[in-house]
Chains A and B, each alone.
Chain A
């Protein structure tokens, strides 16, 4: 398969870009932040996303979606990255839709997927517990009780956890922290007794929550996939999330870079445009090259997820690691080359820096994925 977007994918990109740049430029995020908006995103815009078919992009056609692939999801994520639009697209349309369609029973699919596609159900994935992304270290206890399980533990960085109608929670039904065996995924109603949700206002003004589970009762129907065998399903979901966030970082990097190059062509010092200085030209050229290489690596990962899902691990690790380092460089150079203006809140560039930091930490940072790749290659 050619490592370029198809005509259909380019059309999808154009329509996503049109909607997002029109309705949700960076000022949209700024307004939500400054008004301390309770929801943290626009429900009207999510409705518009549903009408455009974006919320059901990964939902199979027989459940009301369009049954597209991860490349298409990445195309939309990239456009989201360009304007930093806060949206349930990642949590609900990418992760929850994938979790249900890959691991769900027919009953679970019928109950939830059509609602994801029509935009009426919001969902959130609750995986991380410690300071860093270490999915195998999951400790949240799921002890058998009657016909079901009792959940005890705490989750952090649950993206969109404060507005979710459905939580997908990774728990430990067996094994010890560090083991793959004994992981199980559960579908949990956030209104269940014993669920305490704290919205965490984040550095990037995007949405997340910490969630505590105290003797939360779930029944056997709420298990997603197989008891004790959730590791493989979880691996797949995390890889999807990594590919999606890497795409967001490509969009973010390119936008910051574009704004920075524009500034280099406008700002004068010493009687010259600062873009004439070779010190800045070479740094700009290096960043351009880094972004192009990362874009290729991310597209490769998404195509591999679509074409050879079970063997996409290495390509995804490469993509997420590269996207993290590239985005980090892009926002640092962006602030530096904007000089004092780059440090002001009035200027948008800081929003990109903050979002890049959160994206780095989501689903494993560059160091995590470098280490994973080394393990895959046996050294």
Chain B
């Protein structure tokens, strides 16, 4: 038996023994996600148990080095772990922008001191991070951002405003893009800096969205003092770090949605719409739409698997995450349009107990942000056209 087969067998046995049954069911609400942080609370005992067991193995971040609290798994072992978790429907023990976005950037650009300070706390779920990128006048054109960091001895004094900062009101620290050289060309005067959201001068204000929820905030900085040693990478070269991190963000968003888990979409629709005498969904056009969706979803799962394998083989294009982000988010929006159509009148209720507080329409509305956040679909297509297809003047 190969080492990998042994690893698979042992991993499966460990997961079987340690993943509580409650943690093997599809998530149904925001409460089912554990984000960690200074003020974190577990929504259930199984959630706590599952998190702690995974943390102790380093499997909140399976592929990070052990010295930073990771599991030290090879890419092949990490794939096996993901496959085995998916096979039993095991939930992620910890969700975190620190894991998905900041961690990879720190591993590549951080100093040893920065890695030692921040990575273990991310792995252990002790610090919850948020991302300070977009500003009111810097959305798709992110590099025109204006939040400024002015030198004052060993510190910077930061002033300005961010927007669409996910969960800023719950976050402990922020990774933030600031302008350190206002005279340079727009891409060349930006730095990537880390600071505590409890610092004096930081305030947040949630934004009410069409879903009725407020996952995003406006974030204000009023003379916030931050040590210069908190800059990641070189001063004024923050755009390199920002772009690298965006690749990871886009990969994360492209994976949004509960693909392949739980009841097949066609059967969810049949539950509400009904079936004809030969067992076919009793809405021929909806049935076609679902079948077309299922084909594209299965194909997308294949390309997601292939993207990882190509990266391992050193054959992937760095801008491919933009392609994945574009398609994955458009697909997720299609899924929720179908769910709304299948749900019919029942999917229109907003508050009732029977609709779980309007879970379906709220989720549907939330997905409309997928093709905007982290770079719009149009920006993604522009990146593919320019960086992969090498089309002129893009």
* A residues apposed to B, CB below 8 Å: 2-4, 261, 264-265, 272-273, 275-276, 278, 281-282, 284-286, 288-289, 292-297, 299-300, 314-315, 317-319, 321-322, 369-371, 373-374, 377-379
Query: What CA separation (Å) do A292 and B254 show in the bound complex?
Result: 15
Assess whether B280 is in contact with A370, with CB atoms less than 8 Å apart. no
- Closest B-chain residue to A265, C-beta based? B392
Q: Is B38 an interface residue (CB 8 A)?
A: no
Assess whether B264 is in contact with A377, with CB atoms less than 8 Å apart. yes
Known contacts A281-B382, A292-B323; is-contact A379 B394 (Cβ 8 Å): no
Nearest CB of chain B from residue A151's CB, rounded to whole Å: 32
Assess whether B384 is in contact with A289, with CB atoms less than 8 Å apart. yes
Q: Is B143 an interface residue (CB 8 A)?
A: no
Other CB < 8 Å A-B pairs besides A294-B299, A379-B279, 8 of them? A273-B393, A285-B326, A285-B381, A288-B388, A293-B303, A296-B306, A322-B296, A374-B266
Assess whether B389 is in contact with A2, with CB atoms less than 8 Å apart. no
Q: Which listed residue, B280, B315, B320, touches A4 by the CB 8 Å rule?
A: B315
Query: What CA separation (Å) do A4 and B391 show in the bound complex?
Result: 27
Assess whether A278 is in contact with B269, with CB atoms less than 8 Å apart. no
**A4: which B residues are within 8 A, CB to CB?**
306, 309-310, 313, 315
Segment touching A, from B7-15, B45-53, B161-169, B285-293:
B285-293
Query: What CA separation (Å) do A374 and B305 show in the bound complex?
Result: 23
Assess whether B298 is in contact with A275, with CB atoms less than 8 Å apart. no
Query: What CA separation (Å) do A130 and B384 show in the bound complex?
Result: 43
**A371: which B residues are within 8 A, CB to CB?**
291
Assess whether B389 is in contact with A261, with CB atoms less than 8 Å apart. yes
A-B contact pairs, 7 of them (CB 8 A): A264-B391, A281-B389, A288-B389, A289-B323, A293-B299, A373-B295, A379-B280
* B residues apposed to A, CB below 8 Å: 264, 266-267, 269-270, 275, 279-281, 287-288, 290-292, 294-296, 298-300, 302-303, 305-306, 309-310, 312-313, 315, 320, 323, 326-327, 378, 380-382, 384-386, 388-394
- Closest A-chain residue to B386, C-beta based? A281
Assess whether A300 is in contact with B302, with CB atoms less than 8 Å apart. yes
Assess whether B306 is in contact with A299, with CB atoms less than 8 Å apart. yes
Assess whether A3 is in contact with B302, with CB atoms less than 8 Å apart. yes
Assess whether A261 is in contact with B391, with CB atoms less than 8 Å apart. yes
Q: Which listed residue, B279, B299, B309, B381, touches A378 by the CB 8 Å rule?
A: B279
Assess whether B315 is in contact with A265, with CB atoms less than 8 Å apart. no
Query: What CA separation (Å) do A370 and B292 show in the bound complex?
Result: 6
Assess whether B313 is in contact with A285, with CB atoms less than 8 Å apart. no
Query: What CA separation (Å) do A282 and B376 show in the bound complex?
Result: 13
Known contacts A292-B323, A377-B264, A379-B269; is-contact A297 B298 (Cβ 8 Å): yes
Assess whether B295 is in contact with A370, with CB atoms less than 8 Å apart. yes
**B292: which A residues are within 8 A, CB to CB?**
370
**B290: which A residues are within 8 A, CB to CB?**
374, 379
Known contacts A293-B303, A370-B295, A377-B264; is-contact A276 B323 (Cβ 8 Å): no
Determine which residue in B267, B299, B309, B313 has the highest number of CB atoms from chain A within 10 A of its CB, and name it. B299
Known contacts A299-B306, A300-B302; is-contact A285 B266 (Cβ 8 Å): no
- Closest B-chain residue to A370, C-beta based? B291
Nearest CB of chain B from residue A179's CB, rounded to whole Å: 15
Query: What CA separation (Å) do A281 and B296 show in the bound complex?
Result: 22
Query: What CA separation (Å) do A275 and B390 show in the bound complex?
Result: 10
Nearest CB of chain A from residue B172's CB, rounded to whole Å: 37
**B386: which A residues are within 8 A, CB to CB?**
281
- Closest B-chain residue to A257, C-beta based? B389
Assess whether A370 is in contact with B393, with CB atoms less than 8 Å apart. no
Assess whether B299 is in contact with A373, with CB atoms less than 8 Å apart. no
Nearest CB of chain B from residue A359's CB, rounded to whole Å: 17
Query: What CA separation (Å) do A378 and B278 show in the bound complex?
Result: 10
Assess whether A296 is in contact with B382, with CB atoms less than 8 Å apart. no
**A319: which B residues are within 8 A, CB to CB?**
299
Q: Which listed residue, A276, A314, A377, touches B393 by the CB 8 Å rule?
A: A276
Query: What CA separation (Å) do A4 and B312 show in the bound complex?
Result: 10
Q: Which listed residue, A297, A321, A370, A378, touches B303 by the CB 8 Å rule?
A: A297
Determine which residue in A265, A278, A285 has the highest number of CB atoms from chain B within 10 A of its CB, and name it. A285
Assess whether B305 is in contact with A288, with CB atoms less than 8 Å apart. no
Known contacts A321-B295, A373-B295; is-contact A293 B302 (Cβ 8 Å): yes
Assess whether A296 is in contact with B303, with CB atoms less than 8 Å apart. yes
Query: What CA separation (Å) do A373 and B298 show in the bound complex?
Result: 11
**B302: which A residues are within 8 A, CB to CB?**
3, 293, 296-297, 299-300, 318
Query: What CA separation (Å) do A289 and B385 show in the bound complex?
Result: 10
Assess whether A293 is in contact with B280, with CB atoms less than 8 Å apart. no
Query: What CA separation (Å) do A82 and B300 show in the bound complex?
Result: 24
**B388: which A residues are within 8 A, CB to CB?**
285, 288
Nearest CB of chain A from residue B206's CB, rounded to whole Å: 34
Q: Which listed residue, B299, B303, B394, touches A281 by the CB 8 Å rule?
A: B394
Nearest CB of chain A from residue B237's CB, rounded to whole Å: 28
**A374: which B residues are within 8 A, CB to CB?**
266, 280-281, 287, 290-291, 294
Assess whether A3 is in contact with B299, with CB atoms less than 8 Å apart. no
**A293: which B residues are within 8 A, CB to CB?**
296, 299-300, 302-303, 327
- The 3 tightest CB contacts between A and B, nearest first, are A379-B266, A297-B299, A281-B385
Q: Which listed residue, A261, A318, A378, touches B295 by the CB 8 Å rule?
A: A318
Query: What CA separation (Å) do A265 and B281 show in the bound complex?
Result: 47
Query: What CA separation (Å) do A315 and B298 show in the bound complex?
Result: 8
**A264: which B residues are within 8 A, CB to CB?**
391
Nearest CB of chain A from residue B96's CB, rounded to whole Å: 28
Assess whether A377 is in contact with B382, with CB atoms less than 8 Å apart. no
**A318: which B residues are within 8 A, CB to CB?**
294-295, 298-299, 302
- Closest A-chain residue to B378, C-beta based? A282
Query: What CA separation (Å) do A278 and B379 show in the bound complex?
Result: 11
**B384: which A residues are within 8 A, CB to CB?**
285, 288-289
Query: What CA separation (Å) do A295 and B394 show in the bound complex?
Result: 26
**A299: which B residues are within 8 A, CB to CB?**
302, 306
Query: What CA separation (Å) do A297 and B384 show in the bound complex?
Result: 20
Query: What CA separation (Å) do A261 and B303 show in the bound complex?
Result: 22
Query: What CA separation (Å) do A4 and B305 show in the bound complex?
Result: 10
